[in-house]
Amino acid sequence: AQSVTQLGSHVSVSEGALVLLRCNYSSSVPPYLFWYVQYPNQGLQLLLKYTTGATLVKGINGFEAEFKKSETSFHLTKPSAHMSDAAEYFCAVVAAGNKLTFGGGTRVLVKP
């Protein structure tokens, strides 16, 4: 079985400040991990993914995430928030033999 927990359903950051979105997963086998972004009334867009290899992965729009097996975490960061980063972000996990499982989402508000 696998599951995903995103800490904080809402996060507020100031423009130019660090964005940190937390994701913890559980999986009985090595997982693939993903972050998606969703803008209002849009579908989900893949930001980045971890499959194998380097544990720090870079994605679009300046985001990156680090896979930490010992902490079962895959937190998403961006050094400097931009107004256009206001959206909802979803962490997801898939492991062999399982379907893609999403976390509950974190809505990001960027203050000027």
Partner 1 sequence: ETGVTQTPRHLVMGMTNKKSLKCEQHLGHNAMYWYKQSAKKPLELMFVYSLEERVENNSVPSRFSPECPNSSHLFLHLHTLQPEDSALYLCASSQVRGIINTEAFFGQGTRLTVV
- Footprint of partner 1 on this chain (CB under 8 A)? 32, 34, 36, 41-46, 49, 90, 92, 94, 96-100, 102-105
* Beta carbons of 107 and 12 less than 8 angstroms apart: no
Nearest to partner 1 of 13, 31 (CB atom) = 31
Length reported for the chain: 112
* Beta carbons of 10 and 109 less than 8 angstroms apart: yes
- Residue 109, token pair as written in the block: 């508000």
Q: How far is the CB of 27 from partner 1 (least distance, A)?
A: 13
Q: How far is the CB of 82 from partner 1 (least distance, A)?
A: 23
